[in-house]
Amino acid sequence: MSDWDAIRYFLEVARTQRASAAAQRLGVRHSTVTRRIRSLELDLGITLFEKSRASGFTLTEEGQRFFAYAEQVESALLAAREALSGAAQGPSGHLRIGSTEGFGSTILTPLMIDFQRRHPGMTLDIMPVPRYISLSKREADIAIALERPQRGPYLCTKLGDYVLQLYGTREYLDRQPPIRHRHDLERHRFIGYVDELLFSDRLRYLDDLAPAANVVFRSTSVLAQYQAALGGQALAILPCFLAAQDTRLAPVLPHDIHVTRSFWMYCHEDLRQTRRVMALWDYLKHAIDLNRELLQGGSRTLRTPAEDWAPSYGTDAPAA
């Protein structure tokens, strides 16, 4: 059987589907990756990948079975390394967190700065992106999404609900026709998502609130929509945790237009035994509980856990 390095190369190629991308992540030459994959296939006596210019490296049926075993080996080694490398000194190592864009930029990033201050042995990659994060390709260790995963070997928990409202600049509202009822919105301009590029149906709230909305500006990015709303030319439905903190924006029909959505956090079930993942898991659960008012528009201040708070390392974390 080949050594661990060969399995590590295999896992990176399987997740990226490109030898060049795997080489970049591993910090080696492209030729080194392809040579190690060929050697592993010869060693096992099977073909792990179908290779083509169009689709890159695609796992064969045998490759898919081997992938499941290889991930178990990877997880066991990571857990063993953490258990034997000074657990009493606190979590250490590297973590990658994928998140929706607005939450990741506005809430997650400052919380991760506080988390890293508490655990200086940790290094973090934060990916606030307007798309789905693939844990099956190991794009991240932990994902925060708008929907609970329907299948997969995942550890999953609901982080909490958040509220969105309709916002416009005070200057826009002063110079445009008054909005006293929902039907008054027919005379106004809106900012929204690019429908065909939506990564979740949970973002289709404008269709429900104003079916005949005159959408004059579209973007895949909620941060771009926020900046467009500040331009004072149209209205936008925005998360309260993003817009309520900006005094240049005012809510429109706040008692009538009120959208609630949820954030879900999940990771691979095999990461339950890794100290660094569970430390972050517990931190985020506790931190979001502290900030429920901010997520629901009742506060403008982000709170961090007390200095004497300590994680339980996911001992009560539910499975998906």
254-281 pLDDT tens trace: 999 989 999 999 998 878 778 888 999 9
Q: What CA–CA distance (Å, rounded) separates 283 from 277?
A: 10
Residue whose C-alpha is closest to residue 309's, from 285, 291, 292: 285
Judge whether residue 87 has pLDDT over 60. Answer: no
Q: Of the candidates 122, 43, 59, which has an alpha carbon nearest to the alpha carbon of residue 89?
A: 122
**Residue 304 clears pLDDT 80, i.e. is over it:** yes
Is there a common fold for 4-84 and 90-159+262-295?
no
Tens-digit pLDDT profile for residues 133-180? 888 777 888 999 999 988 878 899 999 999 999 999 999 999 999 999
> Can you tell me the mean pLDDT for 21-36?
89
pLDDT tens across 50-68, in order? 988 877 898 999 988 888 7
Percentage of residues of the chain with pLDDT beyond 90: 48
For residue 19, what are its two tokens?
């030898």
Q: Which fold has domain 4-84?
A: Arc Repressor Mutant, subunit A (1.10.10)
When pLDDT is averaged across residues 217-237 and rounded to a whole number, the result is 96
Nearest to 320 by CA among 83, 102, 157: 157
Taking the C-alpha atoms of residue 204 and residue 195, their distance in angstroms, rounded to an integer, is 8
**Strand partners for 127:** 98
Average pLDDT over the chain reads 88
Mean pLDDT computed over 287-311: 92
Does the pLDDT value for residue 106 go beyond 60?
Answer: yes
pLDDT band at 308 (very low <50, low <70, confident <90, very high): confident
Residue 84: predicted pLDDT: 64
Question: What is the Rg, in whole angstroms, of the alpha carbon atoms belonging to the chain?
Answer: 23
SS3 state at 57: strand
CATH of 90-159+262-295, one of 3.40.50.720, 3.40.190.10, 3.40.50.1360, 1.10.10.10: 3.40.190.10
- The mean per-residue pLDDT over the stretch 78-104 comes to 75
With cut-offs at 50, 70 and 90, classify the pLDDT of residue 82. Answer: low
Query: Domain 162-257 carries which CATH code?
Result: 3.40.190.290
Domain residue ranges in the chain: 4-84, 90-159+262-295, 162-257
pLDDT at 319: 57
Residue 132 is encoded by which pair of tokens? 């789905």
The answer on pLDDT for 78 being more than 80 is no
| SS3 assignment, position 260 | strand
Quote the CA–CA distance of 131 and 207 in Å, as a whole number: 20
Sign of CA dihedral 142, 145, 147, 151: negative
User: Long-range contacts made by residues 151-154, C-beta under 8 angstroms, separation at least 24?
Assistant: 152/320, 153/268, 153/269, 153/270, 154/266, 154/267, 154/268, 154/269, 154/319, 154/320
pLDDT of 1 above 70 = no
Please tell me the predicted confidence (pLDDT) of residue 136.
Answer: 75
